[in-house]
Amino acid sequence: MNTRTAHSHPGAPGADRTGNGGELHRQHGGGKETLLTTNQGIPVADNQNSLRVGSRGPTLLEDFVLREKITSFDHERIPERIVHARGSGAHGYFQPYRSLSGITRAKFLQDPSVRTPVFVRFSTVAGGSSSIDLPRDVRGFAVKFYTEEGNFDLVGNNIPVFFIQDAMKFPDLVHSVKQEPDRGFPQAASAHDTFWDFISLMPESMHMIMWAMSDRAIPRSYRMMEGFGVHTFRLVNEFGESRFVKFHWRPVIGSESVLWDEAVKINGADPDYHRRDLWEAIESGQYPEYELALQVFDQETADRLAFDVLDPTKLIPEEEVPLDIVGKLVLDRNPDNFFAETEQVAFCPANIVPGIDFSDDPLLQGRLFSYLDTQLSRLGGPNFHQLPVNKPRCPMHNFTRDGMAQMEVPKGRVAYEPNSLAADAPRECPVHGFTSFPAPVEGNKTRLRAESFSDHYSQARQFLLSMTPPEREHIANALAFELGKVETIAIRTRMLGHLKIIDAALEVEVSDQLGMSGKADVIEPAQAPQDLPPSPALSLLAKARSTLEGRKLAVLLGDGFDPDMLVALESRLKNEKAKLAKVALKPGAVQDSSGKVHAVDMALAGAPSVLFHAVVVLSNESVSDALVDLPTAQQWLRDAFGHYKAIGIAGCDALAGKAAVKGEFGVIDLASPSELDDLVLAAKSGRVWDRVGF
C-alpha cells in the first residue's frame, strides 16, 4: 500500500469502521492525516474488512484491495517462507478407526483398513529459518494427506483460534510481530512495541493473546502438542447433506509445555531442541502419534451458540459440542533430505477433496488465495506440485502445460477441453468430481464486519478462568514480561485497559508487576462480555495424563555409584516407555562401585537439566566428591528444583545439600531401588507444584 496526504478520511478517530461501534482500531496524532491508498493510488475506504456478500457471506474475487495487499505480502521474502519459516517435518500415515460415510464422502475417511500416506510439518510462526525452536510463539501443525482422490491439506496451528477475524489484517499482524523494519530486531519475539501496539488496537485479538501468553506457546515437544484446524469447515456426504466441522489433533502421549525460564535456557543450550527431539524419537522407534477428533454440528446448533462459528477468534467448547475421535496419525519416517521435503513442501488450505468443503469464514477465504500465491513466488512458478513431496500419489490428468520448472513431458497435440481430437483425453465428471456445497448466499456487496463477530472478551475471560492456578500465574507473568519490553507507555496503558475487561484480578497483577497500578485506560467494548462457564478441556494441566511415555529423563553419574540402582532405574523407565540419558562430568566414561566402566551419553556441561522431564543423581561421596563442590552440578539440581521437576538422589546427599534441594517436595531419597516407585510416581505427575503451594 502507498500513502498520500489528506486532511480527512473515513478512518478518523471515533469512526465506526467495523459495525462494532465503540471500539477504536487506530489512533492518529494532530495535524494532517495520511490517506491510505492502493499501489495504484486509489483511496482505500476500509482496510479492516474484505469485500463479501452480506456481512457473513463469502469473500469476492473482485476485492482488488485484498488481493493487492496479500499478493504484495506473499512476495516479500524469497525463497524463505514469510511465516512458518522454521519447521520440522516427518512422513507417516493416517488411518480412520471407523467409516465416516454418514457425514462425508471423502474416501480416506471410509475404510478403517486403509492407511493414507501423510507428510506433516511443524513450525514456529514469527522467526526466520535460522531462529530458535522455543520462542514464545504459535506453532504450525500442517498435515498433507496423499489420498486416492488427491491431496488434502489440513493447515492448522497448535492453538484453536487466531488473532484476527479477516484476512485483510493478516499482513498487518505479521508485519507487527516481525522484526521492526528500521532496526531488524527482535527476531522470533513478540515482546516489542509494534506487536503490542497492533494488538492493543485490535480488540478481536484478546482471546488469542490469552492463548499466546499461556503455556501453549512454549510446548515441550512437537510430539506433545495439540493441533487444530482453526476454521469451521464443512463435511458433505454422498447425498449432498452438509454439516459443519472443527478439526482437532490430540497427542497420544499427552500434552506438555516448558516453563518460560526453561525455554530461555533451552534456547541457549540447544536452539534445535524441537527439531532434534522429533528426529531422535522417530529414529529410535518412538513414533509420534496423534488422534484426529472432530466437532461435528449442524446449522441449528450453530445458530444456538452465543457466537458466530465463522469467527476464527472463537472456539466451540467441548462441553457444548463434544469431540468425536475418528482416527490416528502416526509419524514413522524422517525426511531423506531436509530441503527437498521439509523446505519444499507446499501446503494450501484450498487443497481439499470431495466430501470436505469451506465455510465463509473471512480469514479462511483469504487464506484460500494467499497460500497458492505464496508458493508461486517461493517455489519459482506454477509447477511446484510436481516436486516429489507435493506430488499427488493418485493419477493426475489435466491440460496444464509449460511454465518454469516443468518436470513432466506431456504428449500429444491436445492441451484444451472440450476437444474432439483426443478420445482418451481427460474429461470432467459431475458424479465423482468435486462439487461445492450449494449454500444459499444473498446480500449486498459490502465491507462490513458482522455484528455477530463483535464479542471480543467473553471467550478470553472463559479461557483465563478455565486455567489452573499455575497456568494463570504463567499468563500474568508472560504479559508482564512482554509489556515490560514495550517502550511506549501509551501502549502499555491501552493493553492494561483490555486486560481489565477480561479479568480485573489479572489486570491488577500485571499492572503491579509493571509498577503501573491504576494506570489502565478506560476502554468501552463493542459488546459487553458474558460470564461463560469454565471449560476444563482448555487447560493443559487439568487434563494432563499421569505418564512418562515419550519423556526423556537424565541421570547424573558420579564415580562409585551403585550399579544396581542404575539397572533398576533403566528397567523402570523402559517399562514406562521413557528414555534415559546418562550424564557425567566428562564425556568419556564413569566407574561404578565395582570398578566397571560405563559409557555416558552426554557431558554435564552440555546437558543442562532443562532438557529433561526429571533428573536423578547417582554417585558415592565416599569414593569421589568431584560433583559436590562443582557449581555446574549444583546449578543442574537447582534448575531442576526451580522448575518443579521430580528429583532422585542416591549417594550424593552433600550435593543435594549444597544445592539446597534436600528434604523438599518431590526430592526422593533413593536409599534402595524400591524408592524408585516414589520417583516414578512424582515424575509421572509432571511438575511438583507443592513446592510453590499450588
Contact 350, 371 (CB under 8 A): yes
C-alpha cell at 263: 525455554
Residues 6+ apart with CB under 8 A from 657: none
CA 20 vs. chain centroid, Å, equals 29
Q: Which one-letter amino acid corresponds to residue 325?
A: I
Bridge partners, residue 357, by sequence = 234
Give yes or no: 2 in active site.
no
Distance CA 421, CA 401 (A): 18
Backbone angles phi, psi at 212, to 5 degrees: -65, -30
C-alpha cell at 577: 516407555
Contact 618, 591 (CB under 8 A): no
β 589-591/552-557 pair status: unpaired
Residues 6+ apart with CB under 8 A from 472: 464, 506
E strand or H helix at 591: strand 589-591
Look at residues 619, 670, 620, 621 and name the one whose alpha carbon lies nearest to residue 646: 670
Place of cell 477428533: 293
Out of 20, 47, 151, 157, pick the active-site residue.
157
State the DSSP string of 455-507.
--SHHHHHHHHTS-HHHHHHHHHHHHHHHHT---HHHHHHHHHHHHHH-HHHH
Distance CA 162, CA 167 (A): 11
Half-sphere exposure of 620 (CA within 13 A, CB side): 15
E strand or H helix at 265: helix 260-269
Distance CA 74, CA 84 (A): 13
Contact 329, 120 (CB under 8 A): yes
State the DSSP string of 368-410.
HHHHHHHHHHHTTSTTGGGSTTTS-SS---------TT-----
Bridge partners, residue 5, by sequence = 34
Total residues belonging to the chain: 694
State the DSSP string of 27-79.
---SS-EEEEE-TT-PBPS-SS---EETTTSPBPTT-HHHHHHHHHHHTSSSS
Contact 543, 536 (CB under 8 A): yes
Look at residues 46, 40, 31 and name the one whose alpha carbon lies nearest to residue 1: 40
Bridge partners, residue 584, by sequence = 557, 603
Q: Which ranges of 95-168 would DSSP assign to H, the alpha helix?
A: none
Backbone angles phi, psi at 599, to 5 degrees: -70, 150
Coil, strand or helix at 11: coil
β 647-650/615-618 pair status: parallel
Give yes or no: 157 in active site.
yes
Q: Which one-letter amino acid corresponds to residue 181?
A: P
Bridge partners, residue 289, by sequence = 330
Out of 84, 192, 274, 643, pick the active-site residue.
84
C-alpha cell at 528: 459487553
Identify the DSSP state of 522. Answer: P
Residues 6+ apart with CB under 8 A from 252: 289, 290, 291, 328
Active site residues: 84, 157
